[in-house]
Structure formats: C-alpha cells, structure tokens
Structure 1
Amino acid sequence: MAYEVVELSVRELVEFIMRSGSIDSRFGGFDRAAEGARIHRKLQKEAGEHYRAEVTLAETTDVKGFTFKIQGRADGIFEEDGIIVIDEIKTITRSLEDMDEDSRPVHWAQAKCYGYIYGSQQGLDFIDIQLTYYQIDTKEIRRFRKSFSVVELEDFYLALLDAYIRWAEMQRQWVEKRDQSIHALAFPYKTYRRGQREMAVAVFNTIKKSGKLFCQAPTGIGKTLSTLFPSVKALGGGMAEKLFYLTAKTITRQAAVDAFTLMKEKGLALRTVTLTAKDKICFLDERSCNPDDCPYADGYFDRVGDVLYEVLQQDTVFSRENIEAIALENNLCPFEFSLDLTLWCDAIICDYNYLFDPLVALKRFFIDEKGDYVFLVDEAHNLVDRAREMYSAALRKSDFLNLKRQLTKTDKRLKEPLNKVNQAMIDLRKSCPDSRSRISREELGDFNELLGFFCFACEDWQKKHPDHPAADAVLELYFQARTYLKIAEFYDEHYITTIHTYGSEVIVKQVCLDPALLLRVRLACGRASVLFSATLTPLEYFIAVLGGEEETPRYELPSPFDPSKLGILLADTISTRYVDREESYTPIAEMIAAFAAGKKGNYMAYFPSYAYLSAVYEVFGERFPDIRSMAQERDMDEAAREAFLEAFDAENPETLIGFCVMGGIYSEGIDLKGDRLIGTVIVGVGLPQIGDERNIIRNYYDDKQGSGFAYAYQFPGMNKVLQAVGRVIRDEADRGMVLFIDSRFSSSGYRRLFPPHLSHYIKVRNAEDVRQETRAFWNEKEENE
C-alpha cells in the first residue's frame, strides 16, 4: 500500500490540534527569539556536562494511509535518580506567579511528543517530562515535572495524529487536483512579450537551483506574470511548497491577484490568500485584541477549526472581501482567520513585513526550520528604506513622563521602574554635548535592562488594574518599549544609537544603517528568492543593500518598447540645488508650460519636495492661469487621492498638469495608460532630504566601501527619478515625452545611471527650445500616422 507522506514539526502538530480559547494580545505577545535562544544556551550550560542539549528527534508513523514524519528538537535530555527527563525550556514575559503546572497544555503536549519519541526509541517504560519557565525580565526560574509511562505517551501521540488525519486527507486530494491543473497549464497569452520568456526562464531556474535572483525588468515586460507563471510551474513540479508574493503597496498586490485570476481562467486550480493589515480589516471601531473587548476574539480558537475545514473545500480565492464575509458570518477575527488560511493556501499575497518585519513576520512559517518557500519580492527598490524602518526603533522621554503623571501613589510598583527609565533618559540628555545630540556605536545595555523591568511591571500592573484610566496609555508604552527591546536583539556593528534632545524632550533611537545581513537571514527562510523591479539601478547597489552577495545572479532586461515612441529632453542649464532654487522657479514654470504646449493632454511634473513643488506651482498659476493645473497635497485621504487620479482622463477637453512629489503616491504604482498621461517633467535628481540619519548612513558606507554619497543620496534619488519616468510609457501602444530639468543630469556620475532606453535625449537650453522640440516630436507622430 502506498502511503502519502506528511511532514510536520512537533510544534506545528501540537499547536494546530490543541489550540483552544481566545485571542488575547494585551501583554506578552512578542517573539523574542534571539534572546530566548541565548537564555536556552545559558540554562543548558548551567545544567552541567551530563545535560544533552538540542537533541534532534524524529519519528515515522503509518496511520490510515499516511506516513507521518514528525521531527523536532528537545531542549534537553538528562538522567536523574535513574529516570530519563525530557526538559522543555520556555522563556516568558508574564509573571511566574500566574503560572501553574496546567497553565500551558500546548507546552506539555510538545514535551510529551518528545518524551514518546525518545522513550520508544530507547526502549524505556517510563520517562519524566519537565517544563522549565524562565522569566526574561526578572531572570526567575520555575520548573514543573510529571512522570508518564511511554505507553501513555504513545496513546497521546497517536491521538494527535488521528486528529490530523482529516486535514491530511483534505490536503492530499487538493494537491493532486492542483498539480494536475498546473501540469496542463499553458502560458495564458498566445505569445510572450519581448524579454518575458527570458525572465520566466531565469525565475524557474533560480527556483530549481534553490537560488536568489535580482532582476531589473523595465515596464512593459509583464514582470508579475513573468515571475508567477514559472513559480506556479515549480510548485506543480514539487520544487516549492508555497509561494509568497511580497509587495510594498496595495496597488501592486492587485497586479498579483489579476495574474492569478488570469491563470485560473485558463484552468489553474490554486488556493490564494491576500493578507490585509490588522488595523484595516478589524471589525471594531477601535482595535482591541482581547476577549473582554472583542466578540470576534472571544473563543476564536474553539470555533475556527470547523469553519476553516469547510471553507477550504468550497473556495480557492480568499480576498479581503471574502475573508470578511466568512469571518462575520462565523463570528471570527478576520485578521487571525486570514493567517490561519495561509497554512493551507498555495500562494500568499502580502506586504513585505510578513516576511521581513521582526514584529509582524508570519511566525508559523519562519520561526523554526526553513521551508521550500519561494519569495517573489515585487518593486524591490522600496525594500531598502522599508527594511531600515523595520529594524529601527525609537522611544521618547515625554511618553514616559506623561504616563507617570497619569498614575497615582497606589501605583508604586509601576511608577518605580517608570521613574528609573525617565531618569535614565535625563542622564542621557545630560550626556549630550552642546549640539544637543550624540551618537553611540554601542547599544545602551543598562538602559535596555531598565526597559525590561518596566515591561515586566506593566504586565503585572495591568492584571491588577484592567479598568484603570491609564490602562490604554500603559499598554501603548509597553508595546513601544517591547519593540525597542526586540530591535535591541539585532544590535551589532550595522547599528548606531542616536540621542537627540529638544528642550526637555529626549529621543533615543536604535538606527539600522545596513539591513543587508538581516534581510539575508529572512530570505534564507525559503528555498528561493526573486527580487525584481523596473528600477534597480545600479544593480550592484541593490544587491549590496538587500542581502545579496557578489556572486548572486543578476538579470537586466532591455525595455520592450520602441525607443522612438519616447521623446526625451534634457534641460541642463538650470540648477535645482537648494541654494539655487529660488532663481529656478520662473524658468521651470516656463519650461513646464512650453512642454505642455506641444500637444493638448495630461502631464505630470515631479519635484523633490513639497516646498519646491508649492513654490513653482504658485509661480505657474500666476504666469499661466489659462492652463489647468492641480497639486498633490500632504496627507491626502483616500477619496482625495482617487479624485486626483480620476482627473487624468484620456478624454479631457483641455490640457491638465499635475504637480507631484517624487517618491510619493503618484510617482510609482499608478498605471495611466494611453492618453491618460502623455508627458512627465522631472525637476531635480531626487536626492533625499539632507539629515542626520542620512549623513550617518553616508559615513557608514564611506567607511565600508568609499561610496557614502552614492549609497545614501545619489542612488536612492535616481531611483525615484526613474520611477517617475516610468509613468509615461505603460504598453506598446503608448507614446509620450519626458523633460529632465537639472544641470547634474549631464554629469558622468548621473549619465551612467540612465538605462539604455533613456539615453537618446536631446539637450534644450530654454523654454523656446522645449516648445520647438515637443512640437517636432508630436508632429512627427502625426505625419507617421
């Protein structure tokens, strides 16, 4: 009889079968894996030479047509008074006073599985199971021990496997159906676009070789389908277990949804789930993830299993709307339900943070061993700054002082550690020189320890004062402190600590200068990774900062579009440097008007800052009141953002010019095809605003490889420029123009950053030159037609 193989870790098995009760993330919901591993090693070392640490255990069991391969690592095995003891170590943030031997059935279950596997393999009759709890902040230890017969443990273990059978059978039937559909699936279009097949082959080979690929593929190749189609084929060929399509923005997430929809219309059977941020999908007006405040959290784990089993046999597309409908009908938290769906879906479409953010990452996939996962990182140029944000953390002294003022004399047990943190921040302020700031290349160990005691006090206080007026403030500051401590676990030579003071305010921030190593570790959680974008220029820079290595394969595709359909003008007679900007307002306004005079239509002009945009917009309005224009504003709500885009109608009876900010919501991710956008003006080289952190990054890369300015300013700036340029030509039928305005664009340092399809520019000196060249470009189009 042929048995279907099911491979699970002990943790996966017990957590899935034995979970029950409610969602409650008020306190103690932080993963402190690095610190936990350090504590494990400490306790294991202290246990002595007869203590065997990190013992790998595996058991193969045939049950009802399935071969279960269960594996895991026991924290420790030792012998005491002739009895073998399995030791399971757990680091916790909650008070040990609240723990009794039956507090965590899942912990016992995990250790009992280890006890059965070891006991049966060693021919034992009895074995002891010990749970060792270590309180992270107080360093207290509490142990519980029980004795079991191996026969008793075997019954328990087999009962877990038996409970899993229905899930295994459901998945076996699904995978058979899915793989048959993948084998029959052809590329969903009759032909490949130029470069599309080459990219698809490169992606497939990367997965086949369990590798990593950086790919620059200009707009028009069809990057999404070029990565998803070969990845789906690899899935059907047994080369992958699950696909993760990771994006920075909702609009690029939709491109993946559309590609999957297209393939499903061609016969593909695939379960897909799109994850939505917790705050966006929550049903409550104010999110509060605990059973006292949320009916969808109360008893969640008691209800979810049957609902999950039912919907997985009915649906294959789990969009936000579908998830919300199912969750409402069954009184389930929609966010937690979407996470549970990921265990059974073949493809997960989500934000970067579900892989890379240490606080948000999907621990059900990325906490233990690596899996056969494929990571498709879309618009990878966005990951640089996002990664630095994810791996940095800051605290403000005013938050601690404000909380202190909300507490009373009866809150002494919380006020004492709060006062110590507040005083420590005062001491840090005094340590700053006259510049009111300083940088430390070492982590603030003593300060971090005080934060740990503060967090422990918060947890203890909250349990005793759940209805206190300051409860929300305590919870908020607790999470901030825990975030800071989590980031402290990564602190090494790639970090610095900044201390800034403003009057009585003190801001302490752990700044991640170089996230490459941390990203490399996260990407190593899977089998293969493809990081792709239309703008990864220069590729060497992005490979260096996004966790690649010198030998990492890279692939650069040419634009599939006819270069003659994009007219490019370069005005290098105007300086947009900060000291010259005031003199540039009028000449730039005149050039924008001249650029739009060549043909009636929709245009966008991109600026490096809101201040620069506003100044030129004001001059433009005064000098050219008859030309319709509108400006992007700070903090536009969703309705305002959509209204702005909707104004760019292909049937506009008059010319429209939108003034926008480079690197903003209208400079990438939007798709204004055809006559919805026929030209863009690029004002300046897009350099990020000069600031302390940027200069620190500059100094770091100067020391590391002598490329500080390029890494901190020039390369990120040109990336924003190229993204804005990419708004003009979206498919082979499009035709349009680009006007670059800045004297620096003519320098060799910037010319080498222009991709080949943007190298055929014509230089212009003034507005009249611009007017003549634009008219010539559009007249040539009419003559050719």
Structure 2
Amino acid sequence: MNIRISVRSLVEFIFRSGDISDSSSGALPVEAMNAGSRIHRKLQKRAGSYYASEVPLKITSECGGHVITVEGRADGIIDRRGTAREADGIAADKGGEQPDENKIQIAPAVHEPDVLAENEDEGHVMDMVRGYEVNFGESDVMIDEIKGVYRNLDDVEEPLRVHVAQAMCYAYIYAREKQYDDIDVRISYVNLDSEKEKFFRRNYRFGYLEEWFASMTGKLAIWLDMVEKHICLRDESIVDMEFPFEYRKGQKEMALYVYKAIEKKGNLYVQAPTGIGKTMAAVYPTIKSFVQGDVSKLFYLTAKTIAHTVARGAIQKLMDRGLEFKTVILTAKEKICLQDEMDCNPALCPYANGHFDRVNEALYDLVSNESIIDREIVRRYAERYQVCPFELSLDASLFADAVIGDYNYVFDPRASLKRFFAGDGNTPGNYVFLVDEAHNLVDRASSMYSAHIIKEDFLELRKLTAQYGGRLTRYLSSCNRELLALKKNVPAEGYEVLPSIAGLHLKLLGLHDALDLFLEEHGQIPERKEVLNFYFNLTSFLNIAEIVDENYIMYDEILPDGRFMVKLYCVKPAANISACLDKGLTTVFFSATILPIRYYMEMLSDCPDDQAIYIRSPFAQENRRILIANDVTTRYTRRNDEQYGNIYSYIESVVSAKKGNYMVFFPSYAMLEHVQAFAGEMERLHHVKVIVQTPYMNEADREEFLNTFETENGVLAFCIMGGIFSEGIDLTGDKLVGAIVVGPGLPQVCTERKLMMDYFDARGGSAGVRGDSDGFRYAYQYPGINKVFQAAGRVIRTETDRGVILLLDERFNSRRYSELFPVEWNDYEICNRKNVAGLLEDFWKDKSKEN
C-alpha cells in the first residue's frame, strides 16, 4: 500500500515512551502556540545567512512491499558545505580545479555509537544522544530542531527521544539528498517565558542514519501489513453486500440521497420519521462508498449514549451477513477509567505510569484480534497491558473503519480527536460524519464553543497556592483586579454586554504562562488537582477568545449566587461547526424532528450549497389522532390552580377513554408538581399506576422507570419535556398508547435567551416560515417546538402502533405554531373539555372495530 506520513507523526508513533501526564489533556491556547512560533522565528533570524528555515524535506522509499512517503519541514538547516561546493563550482568555470563528484569532503572522524544490533529495540534512540555538547559550536552541515517549552531548562539533562528521532529523520533525508557522509543534529530547547536556551548537538554518519531509518520504517511496515490485509478483506466483503432486509417506505429514498451526497462531497439534512430505519439508511450507503475509494472512515455521532447501541446494531447486522469491519465505540474518560477515582497523575495511576512504553504492544493485539471494540473490550486489554483504556481506545480509532461516539469527538475544540482533526484544514480527510438526532447539536455546539471564567475562582486558587508565593500569586491578583473593575460596572443582579476584553485577555495570557511554570515546578503538591481544573478552564477560555467573531456576544453577569462571571457566548455556532465539517468530505444531519429545517441549516452550517430532504411518514394517519385543546393555556402569567385543574381534567379524559400506558410531558418540574397534586385519587378512581420522573435519576432508576411500561398495562407517567424520557426511547405497540404534551416547550427566560433574541432581531433571521426575522423564534419558539415534536414522537413507532397525541395549549391552534407542524399533522383536530371525551371514544371505537 502507499502511505504519506509526516515526520512528526511517524516518530511520535514509533518512539513514544513514558507516562501520561495529568496535564496532557490541556491543549495550549493559540497565543501560547504563537509564542512558540515567535521563538522559532527569533532563533532562525539570528542564526545568520547560512541558516535556512522551514525547509521542506521528503523521501519516498519501499519497505516490505509498501511505498512510504515521509515528509515534513526542518526548523533549520545550516549548510556551509553546500555553499562551499557552489563556490568551487564557480571557480572551476573560471579555470579552477573541478571537484570530484564522487569524493565527498567530510569533517574529521567523530565518535558515534555502535551500529544497530540486529534485534535492537526502540530504546536505541536514547543511546544515540550520549556525548551531546551543550553549546552552539561550528559545523559544516547541521539540522536544527527547535522546541519551545515551559520547563525549567536546568532540569533538562537530555533531549526527549521523539525530538531526537524527528531531527534524525530530517538529517537522513537531507544527507541522502545531498550525498553527505555525515551530518550534525541539534535539539534547541527554548523556554517560552524566559527565552533561555539550551542546545544538544552531535554528529551522525550517514550509514548509521540509513540503517536507523530503515529500522524505523520496518517497524511501521508491520502495522501497514495489518492494515492492508484488513482493507482487502473489508473491500471484498463490501462489493456484494446487500441491504440486510426489505426496504421500508422512505428508507431506500434516504439511502439513495446519502449515497449521492457522498458522491458529490456535499452536506445533507434529512427530516425523516421515526420507524423507517434512519440509522441503517445512513450507515449502509456510507459503507458501500468505501469500495469506490471515496471514504476511509465513518464517524457516527450522537448526543446520547443510548444511540450508540442503535449504530452498533446496524453495523453488527451487516457483519452478521459477512461484512469485515472494525468499529470503535468511544466511551467518556471518567466512565472507562479503571481506577476508583480518575486521576491521571502517573504517581497515583499505574495505567498512566509508563503508558507509552507499553501501549503499542497493547494496541497491536487489540486491533489485530477485535472487530467491535467497545468499553468492555478496551478495559480488558488495558488491564492486561497496564495502559490507560481511554487513550488506548483513541489510538484504536486510528485503525477503525467506523468510530461511534459523542458529538464532542468531532466538534468540541476541547475534546475533538486531534489524531484526525488537528491539521491546518487544507486537505480534508476521506471522512463521512453521520450526525444522529441532529436537532440536539444546536445547543450542544453553542455550549462547546462558549467559555466562561468566574472571579471567585481566582481568589480561591490564590488562597490555595499562597503558601508557594511567587509569580502565580501576583498574576492571580492582577487578574482579580481586572475582573473587579468589570464587576463594578454591572447593574445589581444584572448583566452587561462587553465590546472588548482586551485588557483582561492580556492578563489571562500572563497567568496561563505562570500556571505552566507552576505545574512544572510543583509536580506533587496536594492542591495539584484544583490547580489543574483551573488551568484547563483558563486554557479553554483563552482558546475560545481566539475565535470570537460576529457570531459571539461577550458579556459579564452577577449570578444568582452572587458570583461574578465573564462569558464568551457563541450565539450562532455555524461557522465553527463548518470548520469541523471541512475536515471531512460529507456530513449527513438526520433527525425525526429537524423542523423548521431552514433554521437548523442556518445554525449548523449556513452553507447555500447544502441540500435538505423531507421524507414523509409511511405510517397510516388513521392510526393516530392529534388533538389540540383551545381552552387551556400554560402561559406563565396565567398559571394558577384553575389552569392546573384544566390540565388534569384532560389527563383524566385520556386515561378514561382507554386503559393503557400514557406519558404526560410538562415544561418544568414546578408545573408537574402542581398538576400531580390533583392526581391524588387517580390510581384509585381510574385503576392506573402513576410514576413520576425525578431530577438526577441514575441509570438504575431510569431502567426501572422504563421497565414499568414493559411489564404493566395502565401506567401514567409524569415526565419533563426535553428530558431523558422525551426522546431516544422506543415503546412500541401497547407499551405506550398516548402522549399528552403540556405547553409549547419554550425555554425558560434567562440572560442568554434574551441576548440570543436581541442578536437575531438585530440581524434579521432567514429561517422564519414567512420571512419573519423575529428573534423570539430563534431563542424560544424553534427550540420549544422541537421538544414538542420529540415528546409526541414517543407514540407511533411502527406501522402497527396506534395512539393519541394531545397538545394542551391554545397557542398550538395559532398559525405561528401550526405552520411549523410536520406535513403529516395536517389532520389535527381542535377540542375542548366538553367534546374531548367523545373524540377519544370515537377514535378508540373505530380502532376496536378494525381489530
């Protein structure tokens, strides 16, 4: 097989070693990376005229039947020898002696380690650094590898193995290109704060580098053999792979559109009803596209863990019919951790300690022998090899055909898979993103691309670290004073929109540098966990600050508990999401409730070339009845015992019309409790079992709650709209025969909803069904109506299901809401407390006749 790999990626994979650091998940803010770039430029500029910077180097070689192209940019190259050659050439043209092209003038003999032993392991790289000089010196030819660090350079006794290997790669490529018999390598460490420098330098014979490079690519070839063998088996199994069952109505249409979207490398939005098999309709054409070479990896992204099971089931069905496919199901770090308490400090975690010394052996074993790599599989291999299961699963994703996980692995700048998405974005990967339940992504993405800091956290950290004194205390105090000045301008119990945070931003950057140094110097202090938590949050804030644009609102606010917050609020995440989508070829957003679709397209990608399709429900409309009550309201200003009593009377009418299992969805726990107070006699009078969703239900509580529907008939469940039971659950047949939705699901009024409403009012949104630019739609109505659709969608799940949907609020009867309804809701009826019982009786009577 042919492969292109960067020098850095190659050496970091083959020569990685050591521990997982408890601070390794905190990515440097953009400003810190810029500081590293400035250091590079500074050293490169002062190195003199012989110094060539950012020199592109590439080599293509064959190893074990594989064609491997290794490429990268050397930070710097000094080549006086080449310059001298050019001068000699000019002299020869003028009658001077012509140099012998086959005889290379070399430096005096140098000391170097023994040639590689036949079976020497990766540890040999550290042997090569013995004898380094800690000075600049003079050299005819030298490769310079510059590394900006925050470490105290007095503690750096030798360069890291991967840094040496990276420089040796460049040295080999350059020496081979120039036909040099020897070459110097220098590792230049520069402290990003003090700009203090430390150099490690030595000379290598070309023959040694050649053997070393061949040994390294030979190790890579072992992995390539495994990958190539799997790809051949996979593609062969896909060629004749057929759809695993008979197409349902609408399913084939969706599959065809997905296939065409991949072919055209465009994005697709799909509104399709529950029950047609959306997951298989998305997965099947994507996998078929692997054979054409269009796709190399499928990312199935969800908002909830339960959806992972559905995606896994679809792939498993295809595997049961002969598909050869490797799938990794990613689990959150805290859930897959093998320790009782997650702490990535290598002094406390045996799996973090020496992880990189053992992980490649674990990874090869895992990927070679497993097809569906889930939480339990990963934990088993991690225990066997004493490595971190989370990091092992991320490594395994490199060798997977499909990766199933949460949205954040692609879209969240704090948690995205850097293995795939950390490049400059110029060359997208052959990835397809399948975004399930895409209606959830708007709020999730807004949260991912927002960040905040709390003034009181700075005071708390200063108090915790005061005993260590020094620079960190000074920076914490300086930032606190800046925050205090902002706080004085905020109205009591109010908020203020900020035109700029430039002064605060500058001080926070200084604090971040101080924290880097502090964490380096105080590795095992009792307060380390608290310092790290603060550090990660500050890093996130600084990274988000670098991408703030017209889609953001910066504001500060005095919170209800009296704390003071500064927030970077991403109102419209489309630009940030689009930058992620550009890392792949095609994204398919699909959901049963992605209406109005123009709103979601504007909020998630805002690209005029994106396509959208609406797939109608295949289920007979006569199997369900939709009723809208026009004599009840849930408006906040009109909530009282009379209205709660009206709501309860409707609930009584529904459960009295037919014995069965019902769900009632409320906009808040407060309203749920008010209506529940009327239901004291419900169980005795109507022979139903009342169960109630409560806050903070654990997994066992949820299972018990849902199991009631599986085992009993005559269940009335009081639930929260938009909560854990309003989407993602599948109660078919008689397990659920009715849903009562109380109110239009409007989000509670809060600072950010007000800001969002003002933002879209000022700009004039385009998603309104009548060209309405009303910010109220964006901030409240669209998010609310989606919760209504989700709750109502619990009822009809298959073509044989029958049930009723009752919408309780007069607003549903207004055109502002009814024009947002799905096409299939065109047969809704208006009811009131006087006629609802008759309408329900007629519906169930008709159904009993059919039976």
TM, length-normalised to structure 1? 0.93
Q: Check the 8 A contact 1:247/1:352 in 2, yes or no.
A: yes
Q: Check the 8 A contact 2:261/2:268 in 1, yes or no.
A: yes
Indicate how the Cα distance of structure 1 residues 146 and 776 shifts in structure 2: closer, same or farther if over 3 A, else same: farther
> Cα offset for 1:742?
1.3
- What residue number does 1:557 align with? 615
Q: Which deviations, in whole Å up to 9, do the C-alpha atoms of 1:192-230 show, x marking residues without a partner?
A: 001111111111121122221111111111011011111
2:623 corresponds to 1:568:
no
Residue of 159, 164, 169 corresponding to 2:215: 159
- What residue number does 2:700 align with? 639
- What residue number does 2:481 align with? 423
> Cα offset for 1:782?
0.8
SS in 2 for 1:688: coil
Provide the rounded CA distance (Å) in 2 between the counterparts of 1:734 and 1:524: 41
2:793 corresponds to 1:726:
yes
> Cα offset for 1:567?
0.9
Question: Percent sequence identity over matched residues?
Answer: 41
SS in 1 for 2:474: helix
- What residue number does 2:380 align with? 325
- What residue number does 1:608 align with? 667
- What residue number does 1:666 align with? 725
Provide the rounded CA distance (Å) in 2 between the counterparts of 1:588 and 1:741: 7
Q: Check the 8 A contact 1:92/1:134 in 2, yes or no.
A: yes
> Cα offset for 1:466?
3.9
- What residue number does 2:518 align with? 461
Q: Which amino acid aligns with 1:597?
A: S
2:176 corresponds to 1:120:
yes
Residue of 463, 467, 471 corresponding to 2:528: 471
Q: Which amino acid aligns with 2:809?
A: D
- What residue number does 1:14 align with? 11
> Cα offset for 1:38?
7.5
2:748 corresponds to 1:689:
yes
Q: Which deviations, in whole Å up to 9, do the C-alpha atoms of 1:682-703 show, x marking residues without a partner?
A: 1111111111111111222222
2:259 corresponds to 1:204:
yes
Provide the rounded CA distance (Å) in 2 between the counterparts of 1:471 and 1:764: 62
- What residue number does 2:353 align with? 298
> Cα offset for 1:70?
2.5
Aligned residue runs from structure 1 range 132-147, under 5 A: none
> Cα offset for 1:139?
6.6
Indicate how the Cα distance of structure 1 residues 519 and 128 shifts in structure 2: closer, same or farther if over 3 A, else same: farther
Aligned residue runs from structure 1 range 721-760, under 5 A: 721-760=788-827
Residue of 157, 161, 166 corresponding to 1:110: 166
Provide the rounded CA distance (Å) in 2 between the counterparts of 1:173 and 1:34: 43
Indicate how the Cα distance of structure 1 residues 424 and 500 shifts in structure 2: closer, same or farther if over 3 A, else same: same
2:429 corresponds to 1:371:
yes
Indicate how the Cα distance of structure 1 residues 695 and 625 shifts in structure 2: closer, same or farther if over 3 A, else same: farther
Residue of 335, 339, 356 corresponding to 2:390: 335
> Cα offset for 1:249?
0.4
Indicate how the Cα distance of structure 1 residues 440 and 290 shifts in structure 2: closer, same or farther if over 3 A, else same: same
> Cα offset for 1:624?
7.0
> Cα offset for 1:541?
0.9
Q: Check the 8 A contact 2:30/2:542 in 1, yes or no.
A: no
- What residue number does 1:515 align with? 573
Q: Which amino acid aligns with 1:751?
A: S
Moved more, 471-480 or 318-327: 471-480
Provide the rounded CA distance (Å) in 2 between the counterparts of 1:245 and 1:127: 48
Provide the rounded CA distance (Å) in 2 between the counterparts of 1:560 and 1:54: 60
SS in 2 for 1:526: coil
Q: Which deviations, in whole Å up to 9, do the C-alpha atoms of 1:638-682 show, x marking residues without a partner?
A: 211211111113x524x2211111111001111111111111011
Greater C-alpha radius of gyration: 2
2:244 corresponds to 1:188:
yes
The number of residues matched between the two structures is 776
SS in 1 for 2:665: strand
> Cα offset for 1:25?
2.5
- What residue number does 2:838 align with? 772
Q: Check the 8 A contact 1:90/1:133 in 2, yes or no.
A: yes
> Cα offset for 1:724?
0.9
TM, length-normalised to structure 2? 0.86
Indicate how the Cα distance of structure 1 residues 74 and 407 shifts in structure 2: closer, same or farther if over 3 A, else same: closer
Q: Check the 8 A contact 1:35/1:489 in 2, yes or no.
A: no
Q: Which amino acid aligns with 2:440?
A: N
Q: Check the 8 A contact 1:219/1:730 in 2, yes or no.
A: yes
Provide the rounded CA distance (Å) in 2 between the counterparts of 1:36 and 1:701: 34
Q: Which amino acid aligns with 2:849?
A: E
> Cα offset for 1:781?
0.7
Q: Which amino acid aligns with 2:697?
A: M
SS in 1 for 2:72: strand
> Cα offset for 1:534?
0.9
SS in 2 for 1:647: helix
Provide the rounded CA distance (Å) in 2 between the counterparts of 1:80 and 1:777: 92
Moved more, 678-687 or 397-406: 397-406
Residue of 240, 254, 274 corresponding to 1:219: 274
Moved more, 120-129 or 262-271: 120-129
Moved more, 667-676 or 139-148: 139-148
SS in 2 for 1:350: strand
5+ long unaligned stretches in structure 2 = 84-139, 766-772
Moved more, 517-526 or 639-648: 639-648
Provide the rounded CA distance (Å) in 1 between the counterparts of 2:185 and 2:465: 43
Moved more, 546-555 or 355-364: 546-555
